[in-house]
């Protein structure tokens, strides 16, 4: 894929590195819903400061969990989801070890995680991609926006459907770096609502270019700005 090659050249090669264990990643991703990563990280630290481990969190009252994560927004909803997910996992598996998911087909691993209330396609994909190195494509606002502008997704495609569609467009070994590249490009160049098309290395391949720069005579490939 030409797009991938250009993004790799601009942002450098990437190798997958595990971040958190699957259950920790799951809890963190629930905390990150509808808030910034900074808020999610703060709440995650507060949760682990208040409770010794996930077993303790699972045994706690929802109100106790809510108190620990109140600063992150939607605390009651997230506390309920975290409590339910942890209790259900412990009930069905007898532990919080979810490494078995790595041995399942991707679609089955996704379905296993999505059986829990509050775990949607993005949350499941984050856990599988970042904890287990599976070729799942989390679709956040940047990935969704950039993919539509580049014509990788139809304008009517839902964010839920986008996960499987984007995964099908690229070899499994490239799914993780492609996800990171799209986020980086969305933050630095293909911004909402005003993308920096004059600085875009993908300009010559972008079907949306004329919508944003109708007077640009001959777009060329440029190095994306830093930061």
Please report the sign of the dihedral spanned by the C-alpha atoms of residue 70, residue 75, residue 80, residue 86.
negative
Give the C-alpha distances (Å, rounded to integers) separating 189 from 10, 32, 195, 200, 221.
12, 24, 6, 6, 13
Of the listed 122, 156, 191, 226, which one is catalytic? 122
Nearest Cα neighbor of 138 from 175, 106, 163, 169 is 163
* 226 catalytic residue (yes or no): no
Give the C-alpha distances (Å, rounded to integers) separating 41 from 56, 69, 71.
19, 10, 11
Please report the sign of the dihedral spanned by the C-alpha atoms of residue 156, residue 159, residue 165, residue 171.
positive
Helices (H), the chain: 2-11, 22-32, 37-50, 54-59, 62-68, 75-93, 106-114, 121-126, 132, 141-149, 159-167, 172-188, 209-212
The residues that are catalytic are 122
């Amino acid at each position: 894929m030409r797009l991938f090659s250009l993004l790799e050249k601009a942002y450098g090669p990437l190798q997958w590195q595990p971040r958190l264990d699957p259950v920790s990643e799951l809890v963190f991703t629930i905390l990150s819903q509808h808030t910034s990563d900074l808020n999610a990280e703060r709440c995650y630290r507060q949760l682990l400061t208040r409770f010794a481990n996930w077993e303790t969190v699972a045994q706690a009252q929802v109100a106790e969990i809510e108190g620990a994560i109140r600063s992150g927004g939607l605390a009651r909803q997230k506390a309920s989801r975290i409590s339910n997910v942890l209790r259900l996992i412990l009930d069905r598996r007898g532990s919080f070890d979810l490494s078995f998911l790595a041995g399942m087909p991707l679609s089955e691993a996704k379905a296993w995680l999505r059986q829990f209330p509050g775990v949607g396609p993005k949350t499941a994909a984050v856990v599988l991609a970042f904890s287990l190195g599976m070729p799942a494509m989390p679709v956040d606002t940047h990935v969704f926006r950039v993919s539509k502008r580049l014509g990788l997704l139809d304008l009517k495609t839902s964010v839920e459907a986008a996960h499987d569609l984007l995964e099908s467009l690229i070899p499994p070994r490239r799914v993780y770096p492609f996800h990171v590249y799209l986020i980086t490009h969305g933050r630095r160049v293909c911004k909402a609502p005003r993308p920096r098309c004059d600085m875009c290395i993908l300009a010559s391949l972008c079907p949306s270019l004329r919508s944003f720069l109708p007077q640009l005579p001959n777009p060329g490939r440029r190095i994306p700005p830093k930061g």
